[in-house]
Structure 1
Amino acid sequence: MKIFIAFEGFCESFDISSDQTVQAIKLMIKDYFNIPLSEDKQGRQYLDLIYAGAILKDSWILADVGISVSSTIKCVVKEEDKPVLYIYNVVTQEKVPIEGSISLLATKVSLLKTLVTLKCGLPNSVYCFRTPEGREMYDCNTLNDYQLDIGSTLRLDVWDGWKEFLTGCLLGNKHIVQRFLSDEDSVLKYQKRVALYVAAFFGHLELTAWILKQGVSSYEAVGVHPYREWCQETHHPDITKCPVHAAAEAGQLIILKAFVNYSVLCLQCQNPEGKIPLNVCIKHKHKDCVQYLVTKMWSVVSYPNFSLPMKIYIKLKQWLLRAQNHIPTLKWFNQATVFRTRVGDTVIVDGFTKTKMTSKARIKAAGNKNYKLPNLTDQTPHEKNSCPLTVTKENQKLIKLKLPPL
């Protein structure tokens, strides 16, 4: 049976049998046209045969798909890039591919964190990366410093005791989040900011509304864990990102509306690059969000006797808040009050202290672990003298159990 193969402007005839597979024809075409096909860690080149607009699979037989004599089959060479790295997320137990060129390995770990945050929705201050050998990776180093190969799998670890809490945030389950909140006041405030960021990214409205009622603002930066407040030089630039920026990046229109209704100050909140939520939505091409934010930005705030443009109104509110926050500092005459860490608090420094980001689980046990139920076989002296098989109603009133002291 004679068929024609169209390849890059050429059309050549081939004599084949009707019981040949597509894979066998591909080998014939490769040898005839001297097509260099390759497959390595970076990607692969392969042939595709197209007939009547459909791609033929390698295991198909020509006669079974209705290819007759003098039919023309189109042949194309395709390239497929393999992911440079894989990230194993301990929280979701998923393997996230990171696309790009080999030049990504020459960049810093901080850039990889930025890419992963856009994919998984977790603030970069709650997790760290580990090499396949288990070494912790620091933001200031490049990926090549850890001798990574193309296609390597990195492990994403979170703070100890946070795995269950972050799972609740990703699911938008308010009850799970409440159950695994920290007992430390400073860590508790940080967890609420993290929960609002994650809820904004994934569009969990119920969790967002609950956290806003707790006093957390959408224009408040997530920041870093209290254990790392003294490590400003090694902080990632994205720690100043706010929940409203996460909602803008993900295109969560309902969350943006909730944030604006709660406080219009989020309209002028700037990210590390100096962009407001409107610019972020334009960058990520979220048309509905752009239309809504433009309408709000150019609206007017009306009062009984006068009206103010939204931009001027926001500037007045920001000036008022700065003045209110400045009052406690003047009252106590102590500039050191801006530091929240105190003597005896835990401080973690990269490379010097034992890490606390190993994704260890935190289990809250109900009740007192030392509590023991009373032994029901214990009897009073009156019971020991009586026969257990002949207990009257009067004796039952005298039976007393030994309860643990309150």
Structure 2
Amino acid sequence: MRVFICYEGFSEPFDVPPDQTVMALKQAVKSNFLVQLSDDEQARQYLELSYGGAALHDSWALSDVGITSGSTIRCFVKTEQRPVMYVFNTVTGETLPIAGNESLLHTSVAKLTTMISVQSGIPVSTFRLSTPANVQLYDCNQLQDYAIKTGTILRLDTWDGWVEFLRGCLQGHRLTVQGHLSEEKPVMRFQLRVALYIAAWSGHLDLAGWLLERGVHPEEPVGVHPYRQWCHQTAHQDTRKCSTHAAAESGQLLILKLFINSNILSLACRDPEGRDPLKIAIQCGHGECARYLANKLCSVVSLPNMSLPMRIYLQIKCWVSSGKKRAASNRCQYNSAAFKARLGKTLLVDGFNQPKMSSKSRGAATKQGRGNKALLPIRNLLSISHLPSKRAKPLLPSLQTMKEMQEKHERRMESREDASLEFSHHCGQKLRENVVYCLTMASTFTEKPWMKQLDIARTLVRKHVHSMDRCS
């Protein structure tokens, strides 16, 4: 078939087979137009082919995205800055490139932590950074204090036993998040705020709605881990960011609508820099979110016998909310002690004890915690009260039934997971994630109608299934 390539105002016909890959077409375009691409230590240039408003991936075949004879493909030369450093994310197993120039090496660790949080969607209070020599980076220091050079690969670690929990938050799996909540109430409340933050950044409506039903407030800051709440004065300033700010930064319009319908105070919450969600959406370039927030702020609230502008109504609501919190803290300070750190609980101070942030699995962290428990004295074990009695009754039938039901449920879940892994995994992703990925890729063809986008998504999913069959 014959397609036309437009490059810098020129159009040339190319006779290619329908199953030719984008990479092979790039090589033909490069040799035909005599394109010279530079590649140095700071930046590199590459060719990008665009069709229907979307950039074509090198591994795609032309027929997979609906390119037929007579189609016009645009060609551009793009410049990409080489990353200054990399961060290995132990939660996702991916390596994040940190773009910028050499001046980034002279910035503070706190600024780098903010960049990583915005790029990965994980709150700053849930991870720490370390050098390849396993030296922890503290927010108050500069990167040059650790002799970090260009190309250094840093490591991102989270709290022990949190890897599965954070991974479930990023994937939007509510059952996984629910199954990995801590038994300690202060830690569990902190985990719920973290989960809502990640759900807002990722756009998981189901998980966000479930967390709102659990009583998590989208305008409430994520805060610090309960183990570190006595050191909150030295914490990163982004610990005062809330889930609404994360949704505005990532442009999640549906999440913003959900939060505002749940609590109108989400419109007025401000981040550590004093920005409200509208200003964040404008600075991040999310036009639809900015228009929605602006319309909400310019609306009128109808009350019995009166109407108030939204901004004045928000000021009154904030004043009432602060008054309620102050009254509750004065009257119910003893009732709220159960949700705060108490005597005998773990306390972490920088430089004085282990941070407990080495990304250990939940089983390893539990075994380590159990290993610190002291055994009972032998004399107590051999006392008369601990000896078996002839009249001792066996285990209650109800407890046995519950234990058997739990074991059967665990075996059923394991067999179900093993059966699904056989055909759902492909290139490290599950089938559902592949379908979502293909739909996202098809939605980038903005110049095509939505029915055509759906056909492209079906073709990409079918290709993934065939590739999975060949791998198996």
> Would you say same fold, with TM above 0.5?
yes
Report the TM-score, using the length of structure 2 for normalisation.
0.61
Paired residue for 1:121? 121
Q: Does 1:135 align with 2:125?
A: no
Paired residue for 2:68? none
Q: Distance between the aligned counterparts of 2:213 and 2:46, measured in 1?
A: 58
Deviation of 1:43 after TM superposition, in Å, equals 2.6
Paired residue for 1:233? 233
Residues 243-291 of structure 1 show CA distances to partners (whole Å, capped at 9, x for unaligned) of 0000000000000000110011010100011000000000011110011
SS class of match (2:86): strand
Of 307-316 and 215-224, the range deviating more from structure 2: 307-316
Paired residue for 2:83? 83
Deviation of 1:363 after TM superposition, in Å, equals 3.5
Paired residue for 2:42? 43
Q: Distance between the aligned counterparts of 1:133 and 1:356, measured in 2?
A: 17
- Structure whose CA Rg is larger: 1
Paired residue for 2:429? none
Deviation of 1:315 after TM superposition, in Å, equals 1.5
Paired residue for 1:257? 257
Deviation of 1:293 after TM superposition, in Å, equals 0.5
Q: Distance between the aligned counterparts of 2:292 and 2:223, measured in 1?
A: 28
SS class of match (2:230): coil
Deviation of 1:326 after TM superposition, in Å, equals 1.7
Paired residue for 2:207? 207
Q: Distance between the aligned counterparts of 1:168 and 1:339, measured in 2?
A: 24
Paired residue for 1:196? 196
Q: Distance between the aligned counterparts of 1:192 and 1:47, measured in 2?
A: 43
Q: Distance between the aligned counterparts of 1:78 and 1:303, measured in 2?
A: 55
Deviation of 1:149 after TM superposition, in Å, equals 1.7
Q: Find 2:395's aligned residue among 365, 384, 405.
A: 405
SS class of match (2:362): coil
On the 8 A contact 2:173/2:207 being kept in 1, the answer is yes
Of 147-156 and 181-190, the range deviating more from structure 2: 147-156
Q: Distance between the aligned counterparts of 1:44 and 1:310, measured in 2?
A: 48
On the 8 A contact 1:329/1:337 being kept in 2, the answer is no
Deviation of 1:78 after TM superposition, in Å, equals 9.6
Residues 323-354 of structure 1 show CA distances to partners (whole Å, capped at 9, x for unaligned) of 211223433799x9799322112111111111
Q: Does 1:177 align with 2:167?
A: no
Q: Distance between the aligned counterparts of 1:360 and 1:222, measured in 2?
A: 22
Residue pairs, 1:323-338, within 5 angstroms = 323-331=323-331
Of 338-347 and 255-264, the range deviating more from structure 2: 338-347
Amino acid at match of 1:160: D
On the 8 A contact 2:108/2:140 being kept in 1, the answer is yes
Residue pairs, 1:381-392, within 5 angstroms = none
Paired residue for 1:152? 152
Residues 204-262 of structure 1 show CA distances to partners (whole Å, capped at 9, x for unaligned) of 00000000011111100000000111113321010100100000000000000001100
* Superposition CA RMSD, Å: 3.2
Q: Distance between the aligned counterparts of 2:326 and 2:91, measured in 1?
A: 40
Q: Distance between the aligned counterparts of 1:404 and 1:229, measured in 2?
A: 46
Residues paired across the two proteins, number: 311
Residue pairs, 1:98-117, within 5 angstroms = 98-117=98-117
**Structure 1 runs of 4+ with >3 Å offset:** 44-48, 77-81, 328-334, 336-339
Residue pairs, 1:50-69, within 5 angstroms = none
Paired residue for 1:298? 298
Structure 1: gaps spanning 5 or more residues? 1-20, 31-36, 49-76, 370-402
Amino acid at match of 2:324: Q
Q: Distance between the aligned counterparts of 1:38 and 1:120, measured in 2?
A: 28
On the 8 A contact 2:44/2:82 being kept in 1, the answer is no
Paired residue for 2:217? 217
> Identity of aligned pairs, percent?
46
Relative to its length, the structure with more helix (as a share) is 2
Q: Distance between the aligned counterparts of 1:208 and 1:361, measured in 2?
A: 25
Q: Distance between the aligned counterparts of 2:315 and 2:338, measured in 1?
A: 24
On the 8 A contact 1:43/1:79 being kept in 2, the answer is no
Report the TM-score, using the length of structure 1 for normalisation.
0.70
Residues 125, 333 of structure 1: alpha-carbon distance in 2 compared, 3 angstrom cutoff: closer
Residues 86-121 of structure 1 show CA distances to partners (whole Å, capped at 9, x for unaligned) of 011101100110011111111111100111111100
Amino acid at match of 1:190: F
